[in-house]
Amino acid sequence: MKKYDYLIVGSGLYGSTFACMAARSGKKCLVIDKRSQTGGNLYCENVEGINVHKYGAHIFHTSNKEVWDFVNSIVEFNRYTNSPVANYKGKLYNLPFNMNTFYQMWGLTTPETALAKIEEQKREAEELMCAEGVSEPRNLEEQALLLVGRDIYEKLIKGYTEKQWGRKCTELPAFIIKRLPVRLVFDNNYFNDKYQGIPIGGYNKLIEGLLKDAEVMPDTDFFHDRERWMNIADKIVFTGKIDEFYSYCFGKLEYRTVRFEEEVLSTPNYQGNAVVNYTEATVPYTRIIEHKHFESFGAEVYDNPYTVISREYSTEWSEGMEPYYPVNDTRNSQLYQQYKELADMEENIIFGGRLAEYKYYDMAPIVESVFKHFND
């Protein structure tokens, strides 16, 4: 008999949710994490009484009532509604693309005129491609032009996307944006999901609740004593980089990462919104997050005389940096499939989460993935 039913490598949302579900099934879990804190990229640090999302803004959203009830059974969530704003050369546009955006862009006030304007610009893109003998979009730029037309693309997509990926839109594959939401209503709610919010008191409360029945060891690197960890439990749940698990035998997968520039300001309200995207190519950062707006609303924003902002800079990933976004081009997709074939042959190892599955995940689908494992 081994000491644990599960060794869980990584205490991010996948690992922590797995630990919670396993404990509810009567299993004994050990969770190890190479960081000094739990929670992975959900970790928050309290700065001047504000829960700062240290690894980027996280907004929980889902239409799955089972998932929503589950996370709220751990910690109550607030009413935060994601309504980002885009700043292009000092002018503000509401996101996602909706009637407020079209009024700001063209001065149009009715759905009929807005739709006609978008269709007119889409036809222009189709005609240009047709003149070049092209029937399918060859890159992200052509795909975006076919979806929303030139004005929205040039002002709200092009610069932001090129900063995010570090490549020109003409060099990015079209499938990155298979669709762009266009809403012919005055609605700034970014998500279509029925439920959304932030844990009251921050994401640390959620992680602490998920891990309360597990043994947890931070500052513990799986790869520093791999043989020991491989033999301490009946099964291993691995949430780290899948290529690292297999010693990069096929080569290294590529990522994009984000650098954060955090600043404490002696003002209660810097930008009036949690998320402002900077879509102009000449602005080096992609967005500014003002963290207090995730948990303070209306007049209560002014209860705290300070605010904390984070400027986000998207960069190429290299060793020692936190890998954020998989680069899902042909080369990396094929490389991941080679690793996945190895993983599929493992009987006692479960690979889960964005790094182990080389897949960008929203939070709710991560929880759903763990549910599926325990329900199968």
Please give the full DSSP string across 305-340, using - where no structure is assigned.
S-EEEEEEEEEE--TTSPP-EE--SHHHHHHHHHHH
Q: What is the mean pLDDT of residues 231-254?
A: 97
> CA distances (Å), 306 to each of 80, 148, 267, 303, in order?
20, 39, 5, 9
> Same domain for 173 and 101?
yes
Amino acid at 95: L
Confidence of residue 88 (pLDDT cuts 50, 70, 90): very high
pLDDT digits (tens, 9 = 90+) for 10-67: 999 999 999 999 999 999 999 999 999 999 999 999 999 999 999 999 999 999 999 9
Beta-bridged to residue 278, according to DSSP, are: 87
Could you give phi then psi for residue 269, rounded to 5 degrees?
-155, 105
User: What pLDDT shows up at residue 319?
Assistant: 87
> Same domain for 117 and 247?
no
Q: Is the pLDDT of residue 2 over 90?
A: no
Cβ atoms of 306 and 265 within 8 Å: the answer is yes
- Assigned domain for 159 exists: yes
- Assigned domain for 286 exists: no
> Same domain for 51 and 171?
no
> Same domain for 248 and 334?
yes
Confidence of residue 358 (pLDDT cuts 50, 70, 90): very high
- Assigned domain for 92 exists: no
Q: Is the pLDDT of residue 179 over 90?
A: no
- Assigned domain for 34 exists: yes
How far, in Å, CA of 153 to CA of 164, rounded? 15
Q: Which residues are catalytic?
A: 179, 183, 256, 287, 312, 360, 362
Q: Is the pLDDT of residue 1 over 90?
A: no
Out of 177, 209, 224, a domain closes at 177
Q: Is the pLDDT of residue 376 over 80?
A: no
Beta strands in the chain (DSSP E): 4-9, 29-32, 44-47, 50-53, 60-62, 85-88, 91-94, 195-197, 215-217, 233-238, 255-265, 275-278, 287-290, 307-316, 325-326, 349-351
- Assigned domain for 311 exists: no
pLDDT digits (tens, 9 = 90+) for 263-283: 999 999 999 999 999 999 999
Cβ atoms of 371 and 67 within 8 Å: the answer is yes
> Same domain for 104 and 134?
yes
When divided into structural domains, the chain yields a total of 2
> Same domain for 28 and 147?
no
Average pLDDT, the chain: 96
Label residue 252 left, alpha or beta by phi (over 0 means left) and psi (-120 to 50 means alpha): beta
Chain-centroid distance of CA 216 in Å reads 25
Q: What is the pTM of this model?
A: 0.93
Q: What is the mean pLDDT of residues 98-116?
A: 98
- Assigned domain for 144 exists: yes
> Domain with 66 in it: what CATH number?
3.40.50.720
Confidence of residue 175 (pLDDT cuts 50, 70, 90): confident
> Same domain for 21 and 149?
no
- Assigned domain for 29 exists: yes
> Same domain for 246 and 329?
yes
Out of 118, 149, 177, a domain closes at 177
Between 304 and 135, the higher pLDDT residue: 304
In the chain, how many H helices and how many E strands? 12, 16
Q: Is the pLDDT of residue 104 over 90?
A: yes
pLDDT digits (tens, 9 = 90+) for 188-235: 999 999 999 999 999 999 999 999 999 999 999 999 999 999 999 999
> Same domain for 243 and 121?
no
State what percent of residues in the chain have pLDDT above 90. 92
Q: Is the pLDDT of residue 120 over 90?
A: yes
> Same domain for 330 and 225?
yes
User: What pLDDT shows up at residue 327?
Assistant: 87
Give SS3 for 119: helix
> Same domain for 54 and 165?
no
- Assigned domain for 354 exists: yes
How far, in Å, CA of 335 to CA of 294, rounded? 38
User: What pLDDT shows up at residue 83?
Assistant: 97
> Same domain for 226 and 331?
yes
Q: What residue numbers bound the domain in which 331 lies?
A: 4-76+195-253+325-375
Out of 150, 177, 204, a domain closes at 177
